[in-house]
Structure 1
Amino acid sequence: MPDTPDHHAAAQGEFSSVDDVTARFADHGYIADRRLATTVFLLSRMDKPVLLEGPAGVGKTELAKTLAAATGRRLLRLQCYEGQDESKALYEWDYGKQLLYTQMLRDKISEITADAPDLATAMQRISEQDSAFFSDRFLAPRPLLDAVRGEEPAVLLIDEVDRADEALEAVLLECLAESQVSVPEIGTYTAKVPPYMVLTSNNTRDLSAALKRRCLHLFLDYPDAERELAILKAKDTGLPDAAAGHLVEVVRGLRELELRKSPSISETIDWARTLAVLGVQELDPAVLADTANVVLKYERDMDRALGVLPRLVDPNAELPEAGHHAHGDSHGHGHGHGHGPGQGHSHGPGGHVHRDPGQDPDGDEPDGQAVRTAKDVPGRHDEGYYGAPGAGPTRRTAPGEGQGARAFAAITRRRP
């Protein structure tokens, strides 16, 4: 197939320019920046796969879907997972169908072997018919072979390739480099129209250099506020523009927290739709707290976010003391809880007054953190202290003196 710009431009559904990519993606609700649109344009002109890496939920899979919709190609998806083998990615033989044909052709097989003088001759005659049972008729194509062998142009999405084993990466290399798949029993299938191939990775492990070398590379991160708001509007969530802009700022504030899982773009869209369904016109901390489970999927993240949501909605909001409601007034620990400026209370013999960290209104109470830091000095423990550097205890436990020996002796004494 000639590899010229004229040939590509003549192909149905091809992009004419980088700006054409941006415009056609926008028509399908995907807001692409210049770098992304350029990568997609190069993918279409160079017949080269693209590897998209980045956190979950930033639009990697959606890009492949939009690419298929914008070009009118069918979408084939290979969802990768641990332990996946080539039979689920390339092809497999339809053994049930082969067996059915064998049963139906039993009489014909008997005719072929009827006058065979010995078993070896009969086997030879049957083996000559192997090609009839290992042919396209009995080949069950999986996504890679289907994308190469199919008559219609396709977009092949290899999703979350980092979850697959390294052995599957090696299987993918032939298809990625030459747009072909080899079947030992038949031969090599080469695509008449090379599929657009999009690989996605959430960076759960490093991919091989051989795979990366065969692909264009693009790292997708969370967009800036302006582009994320444009994405939100393009999805027609039903949330008023002012509230949508406010929501984007809240989500960006949540992403700055130390969360186990930061809110993704797709979850931001879900949150906007949730608020629209509830008829929200203006954001307030209460309604965000009631619906925060749409974007926060771990209890620890939820607890951490609920404490700062009022300030994210209104930077001038007064927050309750962090952590005060998280546990009760237990007198079994060595610190207390501040109940406002100068209203601490003491626990234990020392009568330690508890205030907010670093707060000392009268200037005559030492800062607790500073006291602990001052005590943390080298050499405060002798060499016999457990875990301290040095030779450690100088006397070894003699046989029969250990804890196990004493426990055994106690059991023996209790026996009748």
Structure 2
Amino acid sequence: MADDALGMKSPADVAAALDATGYLPDDGIATAAFLSMRMRRPLLCEGEPGTGKTALAQALASALDVELIRLQCHEGIDAAQALYDWDFPRQLLHLRTLEAASGGSLDPDAAESSLYTSRFLLDRPLLRALREAPCVLLVDEIDRADDEFEAFLLEVLSEYSVSIPEYGVVRAAEPPIVVLTSNRTREVHDALKRRCLYHWLEHPGLEREVAILRRRLPGLDERLAEQVAAAVQRMRQLELLKPPGVAEALDWAQSLLALGKDELDTEVAASTLGAVLKYREDAERVRAEWE
């Protein structure tokens, strides 16, 4: 994907393209995304949950009109789940068909070689991204994976290629745009960080959060958007188990719209806290602050 084809020759172009998808970036996000595309380097985005890390990758794919391929990391994820696997049931069926057709004179070497072809190769997200670029590859919540998987991922992203013993080397004709996200439940190793460009995403300020709410919920008037954003901003100053992110602010505002409310007073806020806070202790702490 050539830079001219992207049509993005500056961070301002990236900001405009993201804005057109409904994602409102600040200058830092737009610059980091631009440099990642221009330098062909993965972008590691860290920050609290709900700061727009995953949404950035989704918006980039939409802005560039390419496929988003998502690898959701979790504890215990391994190379087979992330890269490729073989379709064993189809291979077995194919082998039985060969045996029946050969009348008992099956050539073992020829049979084995016919089993390991693209026909039976199951592309997992990483292999799909290498074979189907241009695309955006989202490696979501890399901090949930273990050290071994992180080392494996570093190897793949260093060369944008992988060697499959039975099949051969698969190399991306064009490197995918890679966005990795981390909620920092553990530290990502320095080796992976050095391979990536890095950006820390903060919760948006009041003005930007109001703009996000109104952009995503066109029926939300400015006064109610300001009330919701201000309340959420105050909650983030408390020592909550899970401070609300933008996604929770959107849920809260949408709940108020569904109830036909045009103002966020204490009574309405207390009855709808379940849309914005997900722990009983957090809700009790906020209610205590309001008393």
**Residue 62 of structure 2 aligns to which amino acid in structure 1?**
A
Structure 2 residue corresponding to 1:45, chosen from 38, 45, 53: 38
2:85 and 2:234 map into 1 onto residues whose CA distance is: 49
- Superposition pairs of residues 212-291 of structure 1, within 5 angstroms: 212-291=193-272
Q: Is the 8 A contact 2:57 2:136 kept in 1?
A: yes
2:167 maps to 1:167: no
Counterpart for residue 9 of structure 1: 3
Q: Which has a greater percent of helix?
A: 2
- Superposition pairs of residues 37-116 of structure 1, within 5 angstroms: 37-110=30-103, 112=105
2:12 maps to 1:19: yes
2:179 maps to 1:198: yes
State the TM-score, normalized to the length of structure 1. Answer: 0.67
Q: Is the 8 A contact 1:81 1:164 kept in 2?
A: yes
Counterpart for residue 336 of structure 1: none
Gaps of 5+ in 1: 1-6, 114-124, 310-318, 320-416
Tell me the CA shift for residue 221 of structure 1.
1.4
Counterpart for residue 161 of structure 2: 180
Is the alpha carbon distance of 1:104 and 1:129 closer, same or farther for their aligned partners in structure 2, counting shifts above 3 Å? closer
Q: Is the 8 A contact 1:237 1:273 kept in 2?
A: no
Q: Is the 8 A contact 1:14 1:44 kept in 2?
A: no
2:8 and 2:59 map into 1 onto residues whose CA distance is: 13
2:277 maps to 1:304: no
- Superposition pairs of residues 301-340 of structure 1, within 5 angstroms: 301-309=282-290, 319=291
Q: Is the 8 A contact 1:238 1:273 kept in 2?
A: no
Tell me the CA shift for residue 211 of structure 1.
1.3
1:177-232 superposed Cα distances (whole Å, 9 cap, x missing partner): 12112211122111112111111111111112221111111111111111111111
Tell me the CA shift for residue 43 of structure 1.
1.3
2:152 and 2:86 map into 1 onto residues whose CA distance is: 17
Corresponding residue SS for 2:227: helix
Tell me the CA shift for residue 130 of structure 1.
2.3
Tell me the CA shift for residue 237 of structure 1.
4.9
Q: Is the 8 A contact 2:213 2:220 kept in 1?
A: no
**Residue 61 of structure 1 aligns to which amino acid in structure 2?**
T
Q: Is the 8 A contact 1:153 1:194 kept in 2?
A: yes
Q: Is the 8 A contact 1:237 1:269 kept in 2?
A: no
Q: How many residues are aligned here?
A: 291
2:109 maps to 1:127: yes
**Residue 193 of structure 1 aligns to which amino acid in structure 2?**
E
Q: Is the 8 A contact 2:95 2:111 kept in 1?
A: no
Q: Is the 8 A contact 1:49 1:199 kept in 2?
A: yes
2:210 and 2:261 map into 1 onto residues whose CA distance is: 17
Tell me the CA shift for residue 308 of structure 1.
2.1
1:300 and 1:153 map into 2 onto residues whose CA distance is: 45
1:65 and 1:57 map into 2 onto residues whose CA distance is: 14
**Residue 108 of structure 2 aligns to which amino acid in structure 1?**
I
Counterpart for residue 324 of structure 1: none
2:221 and 2:274 map into 1 onto residues whose CA distance is: 21
RMSD after superposition:
1.6
Corresponding residue SS for 1:62: helix
Q: Calculate percent identity across the aligned residue pairs.
A: 45
Is the alpha carbon distance of 1:209 and 1:161 closer, same or farther for their aligned partners in structure 2, counting shifts above 3 Å? same
Counterpart for residue 170 of structure 2: 189
Tell me the CA shift for residue 164 of structure 1.
1.1
Q: Is the 8 A contact 1:21 1:41 kept in 2?
A: yes
1:339-363 superposed Cα distances (whole Å, 9 cap, x missing partner): xxxxxxxxxxxxxxxxxxxxxxxxx
2:15 and 2:215 map into 1 onto residues whose CA distance is: 13
2:286 and 2:235 map into 1 onto residues whose CA distance is: 7
Shift >3 Å, 4+ stretches: 107-113
Corresponding residue SS for 2:77: coil
1:222 and 1:50 map into 2 onto residues whose CA distance is: 18
Structure 2 residue corresponding to 1:34, chosen from 6, 27, 30: 27
- Superposition pairs of residues 139-154 of structure 1, within 5 angstroms: 139-150=121-132, 152-154=133-135
Gaps of 5+ in 2: none
Higher relative contact order (CA 8 A, sep 6+): 2
Q: Which has the larger Rg?
A: 1
**Residue 275 of structure 1 aligns to which amino acid in structure 2?**
L
